[in-house]
A and B are shown apart, each in its own frame.
Chain A
Amino acid sequence: MAPTDALPTDLDVLVIGTGAGGAPLLARLASAGLKVAALEAGVRHPPEGIATDEVAQAGLFWMDERLAAGKDPVSFGRNNSGRGVGGSTLHYTAYTPRAQPDDLRLKTEFGQGEDWPLEFAELEPYYDELEYFLGVSGPAEYPWGPQRRRPYRHPPLPLNGAARLMQRACAEIGMRTSPAANAALSRPQEQPGYGTRHTCTNRGFCQAGCSVGAKASMDVTFLALAESLGAQIVDGAQVTSLTMRGGHVTGAEFVRGDRLEHLSARTVILAAGAVETPRLLLMNGLANSSGQVGRNFMAHVGVQVWGQVDDDLRPYKGIPGGLISEDTHRVPGLIGGYLLQSLGVMPVTYATQYARGTLTWGPELIQHLSGYNHVAGINVLGECLPYEHNRLELSDELDGRGLPKPRVHFSFGENEKRMTVHAEALMRDLWGRIGARDVWALPRAAHTLGTARMGTDPATSVVNPDGRTHDIENLWICDNSTFPSSLSVNPALTQMALSLRTADALLGGLKG
């Protein structure tokens, strides 16, 4: 069926993408009275229509084919890329740790990696605002990083089996742990523009879509607010090019249904993520006077260790990542550091990871998978340095729309390899302490970061510290592509903070 809704005209700002980069600023700009709209490649996924089934939820992911190259090819699709109104927040695990101040100063501290062109103090008020608005559930006292000025809005969610085992094992070796900060509700909350969001039902499906609105994905938070303030979201709209006139961007062309359409706006904000944003810029030959578009692709070190115990754990219950430790934020011998997270898991995700990770087949495979209810996982999320050799480029192979498929080269450097070895040994020790058997490790990289870095020098960066491209005065970028370094924490909360900050900078510029 062809979409029938009328397209908006006379837009102040057009946002491309509705995830953690695009949604917060859409709401902020709408609340300031600007006429704004967003284009989203995916469609709406209302919570009540979301099945508790991983295969049925494939539509939440970006399934257009990407080519993974390098020594450590990154798996895309269900690993890390969302598609739908809400973007990747539809399937993020709702982990919302803050970056620590020294995360932003890697080069100063270690002489490697990059410093961010902004200070922690500039992010902090946005963190405070976000944790309250999203309804983050977390501990009264969080042991790491600067003391927060505003406590978490809700108490922590209950700890599931894997979280309790990690808690016990860490205690044995004197590692501190804490219930994690999760953007899922331990109490109901009224959400402006949406209504009542319900308490988490411990359904464990956070890595896919939440069916009750407990998880703070963008659709039930910022996008609902934005629409209530007059913002228009055009879904099912795949942007194919940016239109230009006289060195300024004038709008975007997109395919919706079987039609090619266009939206004009005075300012355009690209918020399509660290793969689609550079892909679009490279296809159009835009904003790349530095030659940095597509460069410095990063994916967090994300090695996982799994084991089975006698206890009936039911890894499908509870928030998947209930427990955290940041005691490994700095480790002698490593540049940057990592955090530890407990892991619940859904059966199909577990099974396919086990098959790929161990290449076990035959009766042994079935035997192992039959122990699913006894599986406990633990993983890390660690710094990945920006490298010249990790980059996104356009391939000669075309997709269904006749556009070049992106090819992403990714190989761990020495630091990522050392970090993986260190983390795997620590997690194997922890899982040994809980008496886990059939322990196995999956080396892995998570999240897509970099490819359009922010900086003060137009010769070495794509956007300025506010997110505006150096080359095109009315083209901004607001997504994880602008991260100069990866940070040693999950990126969603920091991305949202950057989004609000970019909105405020844009509004300040309009006032000035």
Chain B
Amino acid sequence: MTPEERSAVLALLHSAHVTEPTRRALLERLDARYERQFFDEAEFGQLRALAVRLVPHDPADMDLTGTVDHRLHAGAGDGWRYADAPPDGDAYRALLAALPDGFETLDAEAQDTAIPAVQASHPHAFEDLLAELTEAFMAHPLTQYRFGYVGFADAPQWPHVGPNELEPREVAYGPH
């Protein structure tokens, strides 16, 4: 995250366009970093390497791997799982165990080559992990800034909703 990106995000979050509950949630997420608690160190390293290939991001910007670990440690779920799959943590561990040895040390191309095989052997775990990482990525204020998403700045309402009918704060937010 460049200093310019960070200050643009903070400027909007601290503006009157954002309600207090929304501001609180997004400010907390912007800098959220988690201690590893659920996976062991080797698993965590593999998961981080896999996460970077599945949903390309800079772990220094956003701690997607830590978000997954934190959720599993807290025992939180999303309301359902495939009946023929083990609990999420076990399913993810099995997926990681199916990666080739030293996956995290392979070059990017070799890592990408290895992924389809684990996807085929652990389809539910792959889908769930991909969705979970994607959620954490898309919910991050930095991603939203980079994609020009301003929906959280809704305190003043959106009087115009048709195609290309943008409010000044929509035009201004995001990279140009």
Q: Which A residues form the contact surface with B (CB < 8 A)?
A: 48-56, 61-69, 73-79, 81, 158-161, 164-165, 201-205, 211, 309, 311-314, 316-318, 346-348, 350-352, 354-356, 359, 361-363, 365-366, 369-370, 372-373, 395, 400, 407
Interchain CB contact under 8 A, B78 and A160? no
Is the CB–CB distance between B25 and A56 below 8 Å?
A: yes
A-B contact pairs, 30 of them (CB 8 A): A52-B18, A52-B19, A55-B29, A61-B79, A66-B79, A66-B80, A67-B81, A67-B82, A68-B82, A68-B83, A77-B77, A77-B78, A77-B80, A202-B158, A203-B154, A203-B157, A204-B158, A211-B19, A312-B166, A314-B170, A316-B149, A347-B138, A351-B134, A352-B134, A361-B53, A363-B56, A365-B54, A365-B134, A369-B138, A370-B146
B158 proximity list for chain A (CB < 8 A) = 201-204, 317-318
Residues of A within 8 A of B127 (CB): 355-356, 359
Is B144 a contact of A311 with CB atoms below 8 Å?
no
Q: What residues make up the interface of B, taking CB atoms closer than 8 Å to A?
A: 18-19, 21-22, 24-26, 29, 53-56, 75-84, 112, 115, 119, 126-127, 130-131, 134-135, 137-139, 144, 146-152, 154, 157-164, 166, 170
Contact B157 A63 (CB under 8 A): no
- Contact A369-B147, Cβ < 8 Å, known A203-B158, A361-B55: yes
A interface secondary structure, majority: loop
- Per the bound structure, the CA–CA distance linking A434 and B155 in Å amounts to 32
Distance of B132 from chain A, by nearest CB (Å) = 8
Partner of B162, one of A55, A161, A309, A359: A161
Output the least CB separation between A397 and chain B (Å): 9
Q: Is A67 in contact with B157, judged by CB distance below 8 angstroms?
A: no
Q: Are B163 and A347 in contact (CB under 8 A)?
A: no
The residues of A that contact B138 with a CB separation of less than 8 Å are: 347-348, 350-352, 369
Most buried by A among B76, B119, B139: B139
Interchain CB contact under 8 A, A316 and B151: yes
- Establish whether residues A49 and B21, one from each chain, have CB atoms under 8 Å apart when the complex forms: yes
Q: How far is the CB of A32 from chain B (nearest CB, A)?
A: 36
Top 5 nearest A-B pairs by Cβ distance? A77-B79, A316-B151, A201-B157, A318-B161, A69-B83
Q: Give B154's nearest chain A residue, CB to CB.
A: A203
Q: Which of A48, A202, A313, A372 contacts B149 (CB 8 A)?
A: A372
CB pair A53 B164 closer than 8 Å: no
Q: Tell me the minimal C-beta distance from A327 to chain B in angstroms.
A: 24
State whether B55 touches A158 (Cβ < 8 A).
no
**Besides the known contacts A158-B161, A160-B161, A203-B154, 20 further A-B residue pairs in the complex with CB atoms under 8 A apart:** A55-B139, A61-B79, A63-B78, A63-B79, A65-B79, A67-B83, A78-B78, A202-B158, A211-B154, A309-B163, A313-B163, A314-B166, A317-B158, A317-B160, A318-B161, A351-B134, A355-B130, A359-B127, A361-B53, A366-B55
Q: Knowing A53-B139, A78-B78 touch, does A355 contact B154 (C-beta < 8 A)?
A: no
Contacts of A205 in B (CB 8 A): 151, 154
B161 A347 Cβ-Cβ under 8 A = no
When distances are taken between beta carbons in the complex, the residues of chain A under 8 Å from B80 are: 65-68, 74-77
Q: A67-B81, A356-B127, A369-B138 are in contact. Are A361 and B157 (CB under 8 A)?
A: no
Nearest-Cβ distance from residue B115 to partner chain A, whole angstroms: 7
Output the nearest chain A residue to B84 by Cβ-Cβ distance.
A69
The verdict on A202 contacting B21 (CB below 8 Å), with A77-B79, A373-B149 known, is no
CB distance from A15 to the nearest CB of B (A): 23
Residues of chain A within 8 A (CB-CB) of B134 are 351-352, 354-355, 365, 369
- Of A50, A67, A346, A361, which one neighbours B21 at CB under 8 angstroms? A50
Residues of B with C-beta under 8 A to A395:
83
Expressed in whole angstroms, the Cα–Cα distance for A78 and B18 within the complex equals 24
- A54 to B152: give the CA distance in the assembly, Å: 10
Q: Residues of B contacting A309 with CB < 8 Å? A: 163
- In the bound complex, residues from chain B placing their C-beta under 8 Å from that of A54 are 139
In contact, B112 and A311 (Cβ under 8 angstroms): no
| Chain B residues positioned under 8 Å from A55 (CB to CB) | 25, 29, 135, 139
CB pair B163 A53 closer than 8 Å = no
Taking a contact as CB atoms under 8 Å apart, the answer to whether A311 and B139 are in contact is no
A61-B79, A407-B83 given; A204·B53 CB < 8 A: no
Give the Cβ gap from A61 to chain B, nearest Cβ, in Å.
Answer: 6
**Closest chain B residue to A165, Cβ basis:** B163
- Nearest B residue to A54, CB-CB: B139
- State whether B22 touches A51 (Cβ < 8 A): yes
Instruction: Report the nearest B residue to A408, measured CB to CB.
Output: B83
For the complex, what is the distance from the CA of A400 to the CA of B170, rounded to whole Å?
A: 44
Contact between A161 and B163, CB atoms less than 8 A apart = yes
Residues of A close to B157: CB separation below 8 A: 201-203
A345 to B126, CA, bound (A): 24
Q: How far is the CB of B167 from chain A (nearest CB, A)?
A: 9
Contacts A77-B80, A203-B157: A359 and B135 contacting too (C-beta < 8 A)?
no
A56 touches B54 (CB 8 A): no
B94: shortest Cβ distance to chain A, in Å? 18
A-side contacts of B25, CB under 8 Å: 51, 53, 55-56
- Are A312 and B144 in contact (CB-based, < 8 A)? no
CB <8 Å contact, B162 and A164: yes
**Looking across the interface, which residue of chain B has its beta carbon closest to that of A397?**
B87
Question: Which of B26, B149, B150 has the most chain A CB atoms inside 10 A of its CB?
Answer: B149
